[in-house]
Structure 1
Amino acid sequence: MRTTVRQAGRATAHLLVAAAMAFGMYLFITVLLITAVGTLAVIGAWLLPETVLLVRRIAGAKRRLTTAWTGREIPEAYRSIDGPLTERLRTAVRDPGTRTDLRWMLAYYGYGALIVLALPLWPLGLVVDGVGCGLLHRRAVVLPWIERLADLEARWSTALLRPSPRALLAARVEQLTATRADAVAAHGAELRRIERDLHDGAQARLVSLSMRIGLAKRAYDRDPDAARKLLDDAQEQAEEALAELRDVVRGIHPPILSDRGLTGAVRALAAGWGSPRSGEPERGGGLRVTVDVDGLADEGPRAPAAVEAAGYFVVAEALTNVAKHSGSPTAAVRLVRTMRGLRVVVGDEGRGGVDESAGSGLLGVRRRVAALDGTVRVSSPAGGPTMIEVELPCVW
């Protein structure tokens, strides 16, 4: 009986919120009328997209309420309302999600009233003290009925708020368009970085190397010692140019990924953070990094090369952020093979408060992951800790 009462309590809370929302919807009719009149009068046309955005927020709140009761998420599928007014108006009117929300809103005016009328049955089921078997029996009947009413309300809301296949397709097309634009932008930025690194680094050193070899050839007969000194300098220039070329190649696709796979490459990367490197004080050597691997065997099937490269880039960028900004002496990396792909998690116990707009490198991470249809979640409250979790879909 306690379980029944507890469930009935949850159902009552759900129905009370639903009833309050239904009451608010009746008040919202005024907003809809003002928007309709303003749009027809043209002068208030700007109200239409703003009202549609408000309706989306109301429908979103109802989706979350229904999801909390049923445990099944109701997806959203909307087109972005932005740009000039004409474009905003066109999107607000043509978006299938708008029609879905308005259909739910109109239906809610009807079955929301039924919820309000049914709520008085709940106190009736709680009267049990010394009245006899009649009310006890009535209580046993009324309590499950309240729960069934909540189930019915949730089913109606789910059916009405679920996006149509056309809306889901339109939202998916818009998402892929944005993802493609980000991928193109990221690719262009990467090409510019490679060009800049080659021009300012390796190319400049190779030009200097050529000049020193030419000077050494001229001085070889009349001043062998000077020629030898120039050749020594040229050798140093060649080694530095080779090192910079390796860095450029490593930025495109780290060779260690091909040799050792993602697990070995990440472990080598983590070990590299364990001790300072001469000439690289900005790298923040001394960061202790632990690597935990779940389901990725060294000899087992590997993820596609693009997924491994993205995972490696995520770890490298996250560890750089930890060393530069977090103040944490330790970091933890976790690689997990899932049924849908690869999960990469990087966490630290630093100061937190990550600001993605302040050049933390997370924009590049998001673009690279979005190009593979993956997701990025960042949790970094002020005071820490910080956790970056990336999901990269792939077929093993």
Structure 2
Amino acid sequence: MNDIQPIVLPGVDPRRPLVIAGPCSAETEEQTLNTARALAAEGFRIFRAGLWKPRTKPGGFEGVGAAGIPWLQRVKRETGMYVATEIATREHVAAALDGGIDLLWIGARTAANPFAMQEIADALRGQDVPVLVKNPVSPDLELWIGAIERIHNAGVRRLAAVHRGFTSIDRSLYRNHPMWAIPIELHRRLPALPIFCDPSHIGGKRELVAPLSQQAMDLGFDGLIVEAHCTPDVAWSDKAQQVTPEALGYIIRNLVIREQTTTTESLTELRKEIDRLDDELLDLLVRRMRVSREIGQYKKEHDMPILQTQRYDELLARRAAQAVELGMDREFMRTVMQAIHEESVRQQMRILGD
């Protein structure tokens, strides 16, 4: 997909970050217009508002639907902003395009459903409209890429991905775990694809919008899609994660944008050192797996099971504690040790199976 084009709109500053901002939901015409006017006053050029709101449980506010399209048309007329909304069905696509919506995004629940994605792709065939695809709710990179490919195969070239975090049963600071490694791998696989960050849905709290936006910029993301509401404390959906237009203006003005520069001699030497250390790590892992195979042979000869649960639990706890003492993250070390243990088990299963 090397023919993907950036999301470039006439009159919008192409420099990072491209910011798409507006309320989670278009609730009333007054709320929609007041928020848009305040965002325009802060210099924002692309206004977002959800018209169709798929909710986790029935009974909540599920959006005003197509009745809100005239509100977005009025936003365009009165502020000169481009307008964007979420689509999830072919009917949404038709209504949005007929209503002159400038940019569409596909939500996490929809992106997880290949049938829904194909329906949307068929409805978009032959249309020249920018489309953003959010990551699926589960941390499945192939599913995310597949959703993007379906839209690309329909002929849409102004494409971008949106990282909004992943659902997890673990308790966390975040509403949705960032798992930054997944969008980083997406960029490696599809380097031409712009990637936006949705700090509102990752954080779930308005106080996390600023630090998450900065992290996204530090990682080289192309833009942000942020929820902003004229009166967020009384918003009809996701009020805890929405900021005021004025607060968002302050956040964006204070972002540090780290542009890519020519590699210096000092950086080159440091990268060489990283390469050398990686080689040493690989050599150590090879030696460790050799010992694992010897253990597997011993277990085979003595009719012992591969998995020794108590030993594994002790190993995880000890290495995680050591990592903290050495200034590293506990969960990072647990992840590393779990991956090493998984490969050790695989090696030993081969021994027992021979």
Q: Please indicate, yes or no, whether the TM-score normalized by the shorter chain is above 0.5.
A: no
TM-score (norm 2): 0.21
Higher RCO, 1 vs 2 (CA within 8 Å, ≥6 residues apart): 2
TM-score (norm 1): 0.20
